């Protein structure tokens, strides 16, 4: 049974405006500066490293100068799994294409690819030159060092939880028999652990094989909300990521009923 205060969270006003605020932090990673053009990363593919083939795996992307359209001198800096040590990988000119081999990243960091574990991330950042200095931009990607995806490994009864939504319990995951690729998982029981009788669903999780990003199409899971029968047709939908090494699924799901929306909540599905 949900706390009655949850009733106050339902959003029925469409014109909600959110105002941000500015703040300063000590940047130990390098200088930042506003420049006329802001680099943009596009066409990020491949977007994951393969843990099973560290000697040959690479990611690639294009970097453009956005709406400014100007040419800029730039460098790529890399770090490993959120570490504070950043090192230069290569120089290039924007607009341009970048390939970052895992072996080159390891060499730049002074480590072996054996030290780069499956399930960790490589942090790749674009710095642009202004005068005689390079400035850190917002253009960055964090490719996963991914283990192989085996659909059968996800069939079972993992635990699903969301501290924000206040649920925790077992769900049932199967592979969608209508998807011959095996890259669609079906999750049943998300509304059951929320106190509902699940007469809809299951929630499909469509996995992008190039990045292991997840799309969860909006799906009605229960026609009546158990903790508040006045609400009908509770639906979940959103996006997320799959870590194939830890087998953990992270989701950000919007939860709605016919009467409105409760907003978005983070869910973790762990085996």
DSSP sequence for 223-270: EE-TT-TTSEEEEEEEEEEEETTTTEEEEEEEEEETTEEEEEEEEEEE
pLDDT the model gives residue 14: 35
Asked if 262 contacts 159 with a C-beta cutoff of 8 angstroms, the reply is no
Question: pTM higher than 0.95 for the full model?
Answer: no
The count of C-alpha atoms lying within 13 angstroms of the C-alpha of 199, restricted to the half-sphere facing its C-beta, is 7
Question: What phi and psi values does residue 25 have, to the nearest 5 degrees?
Answer: -130, 155
In the DSSP assignment, the letter for residue 66 is G
Asked if 215 contacts 184 with a C-beta cutoff of 8 angstroms, the reply is no
Cβ contacts of 219 within 8 Å, gap of 6 or more? 200, 201, 202, 203, 204, 235, 236, 237
pLDDT the model gives residue 17: 35
Q: Find the largest Cα–Cα distance for the chain.
A: 65
Give the CA dihedral 87, 70, 99, 137, nearest 10 degrees: 40
d(CA 208, CA 45): 12
pLDDT digits (tens, 9 = 90+) for 188-239: 999 999 999 999 999 999 999 989 999 999 999 999 999 999 999 999 999 9
Structure tokens that stand for 239 in this block: 């996006």
pLDDT the model gives residue 225: 96
The full set of domains in the chain, from first to last, is 40-146 (2.60.40.10), 149-270 (2.40.128)
pLDDT the model gives residue 30: 52
Show the DSSP H helices in 80-206 as ranges. 102-109
Nearest one of 139, 112, 116, 138 to 49, comparing CA atoms:
116
Residues in the chain, pLDDT under 70: 1-36, 68
pLDDT the model gives residue 66: 75
pLDDT the model gives residue 31: 53
d(CA 265, CA 24): 28
Structure tokens that stand for 230 in this block: 């006045």
Nearest one of 232, 231, 233, 268 to 253, comparing CA atoms:
268
pLDDT the model gives residue 38: 86
């Amino acid at each position: 049974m949900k706390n009655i205060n949850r009733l106050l969270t339902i959003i029925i006003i469409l014109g909600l405006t959110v105002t941000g605020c500015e703040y300063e932090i000590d940047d130990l990673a390098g200088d930042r500066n506003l420049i006329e053009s802001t680099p943009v990363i596009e066409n990020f593919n491949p977007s994951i490293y393969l843990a099973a083939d560290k000697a040959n795996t690479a990611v690639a992307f294009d970097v453009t100068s956005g709406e400014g359209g100007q040419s800029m001198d730039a460098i790529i800096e890399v770090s490993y799994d959120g570490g504070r040590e950043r090192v230069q990988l290569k120089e290039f000119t924007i607009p341009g294409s970048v390939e970052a081999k895992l072996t080159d990243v390891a060499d730049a960091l002074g480590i072996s690819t054996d030290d780069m574990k499956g399930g960790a991330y490589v942090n790749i950042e674009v710095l642009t030159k202004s005068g005689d200095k390079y400035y850190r931009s917002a253009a960055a990607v964090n490719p996963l060092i991914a283990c192989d995806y085996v659909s059968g490994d996800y069939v079972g009864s993992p635990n699903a939880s969301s501290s924000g939504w206040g649920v925790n319990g077992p769900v049932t995951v199967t592979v969608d028999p209508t998807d011959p690729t095996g890259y669609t998982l079906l999750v049943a029981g998300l509304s059951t652990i929320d106190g509902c009788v699940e007469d809809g669903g299951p929630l499909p999780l469509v996995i992008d094989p190039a990045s292991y990003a997840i799309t969860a199409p909006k799906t009605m899971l229960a026609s009546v909300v158990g903790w508040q029968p006045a609400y009908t047709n509770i639906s979940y939908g959103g996006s997320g990521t799959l870590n194939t090494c830890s087998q953990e699924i992270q989701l950000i799901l919007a939860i709605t009923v016919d009467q409105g929306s409760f907003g978005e909540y983070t869910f973790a599905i762990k085996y």
